[in-house]
């Protein structure tokens, strides 16, 4: 029995992907901070789709979080064939005004934990007939974003790392893809402290179910980069056509209060 492991699975895109994979009869391993929310999601999916669902409440911004997840898998003899590194968040504000501790925790979650999970689980993934890694980045990865400087930088790291790993594993049974969504109506805005522009963000945001459906189709089709929404595709690739300073000014203006 092989499982799909999803981080950040208690809400948003992660929960939507869990639901869609359960519909495809995948057994699931769900990881997020809130055990109460995970238990509710797990019970719903078990009842609705008759699949095996196990969950682990774990703060993935802690340095040893990935090792804890890996040990949980090996101790319980869970075999992983799909790894979705979805957990992540941003913090809104100037680099100087935000505490180093908060920013370091974000970088740990957005970069170090996905890298560690890929490293720990890759031998297991390579042992399957076919397996998949989906790392979740953002359209913020395509340019610097003032007031989200480290968030954008962390997502650029995820994109470049994923593309490099994909090339390293080309010809193997492990397909590696990167999801780069634009605004999605999740709790991202609230956690990032962006309440001042919440109404605007929600107006242009995609629904999680839509983004998740596009993500999984792209993953199973072994696409390198998956950008949900035509406008987001145009926006991402237009950053290559214009001067960086211009693109950065436009990006920064979108996140002013």
Looking at residue 204, what is its pLDDT? Answer: 59
Read off the tokens for 133. 């890694």
Looking at residue 202, what is its pLDDT? Answer: 54
Looking at residue 197, what is its pLDDT? Answer: 45
Looking at residue 91, what is its pLDDT? Answer: 95
Looking at residue 104, what is its pLDDT? Answer: 97
- pLDDT tens series, the chain, 257 aa: 799 999 999 999 999 999 999 999 999 999 999 999 999 999 999 999 999 999 999 999 999 999 999 999 999 999 999 999 999 999 999 999 999 999 999 999 999 999 999 999 999 999 999 999 999 999 999 999 999 999 999 999 999 999 999 999 999 999 999 999 998 886 655 554 555 444 555 555 799 999 999 999 999 999 999 999 888 888 787 777 766 777 677 777 777 65
Calpha distance 193→197 (Å, rounded): 10
Looking at residue 227, what is its pLDDT? Answer: 96
* Residues in CB range of 164: below 8 A, 6 or more apart: none
Calpha distance 228→249 (Å, rounded): 24
| Start-to-end C-alpha separation, the chain | 49
Looking at residue 93, what is its pLDDT? Answer: 95
Looking at residue 187, what is its pLDDT? Answer: 62
């Amino acid at each position: 029995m092989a499982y799909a492991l999803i981080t950040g699975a208690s809400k948003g895109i992660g929960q939507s992907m869990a639901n869609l994979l359960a519909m495809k009869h995948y057994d699931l391993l769900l990881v997020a901070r809130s055990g109460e929310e995970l238990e509710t999601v797990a019970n719903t999916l078990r009842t609705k789709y008759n699949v095996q669902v196990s969950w682990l409440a774990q703060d993935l911004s802690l340095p040893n979080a990935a090792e804890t997840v890996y040990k949980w898998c090996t101790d319980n003899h869970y075999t992983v064939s799909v790894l979705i590194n979805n957990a992540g968040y941003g913090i809104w504000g100037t680099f100087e005004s935000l505490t180093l501790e908060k920013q370091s925790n974000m970088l740990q979650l957005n970069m170090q934990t996905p890298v560690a999970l890929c490293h720990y689980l890759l031998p297991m993934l390579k042992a399957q007939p076919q397996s998949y890694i989906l790392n979740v980045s953002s359209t913020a990865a395509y340019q610097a974003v003032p007031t989200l400087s480290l968030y954008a930088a962390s997502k650029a790291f995820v994109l470049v790392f994923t593309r490099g790993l994909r090339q390293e594993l080309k010809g193997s049974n492990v397909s590696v893809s990167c999801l780069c969504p634009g605004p999605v109506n999740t709790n991202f805005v609230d956690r990032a402290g962006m309440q001042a522009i919440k109404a605007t963000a929600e107006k242009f945001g995609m629904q999680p179910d839509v983004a998740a459906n596009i993500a999984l189709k792209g993953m199973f089709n072994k696409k390198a980069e998956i950008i949900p929404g035509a406008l987001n595709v145009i926006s991402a690739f237009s950053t290559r056509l214009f001067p960086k300073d211009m693109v950065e000014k436009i990006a920064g203006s979108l996140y002013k209060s």
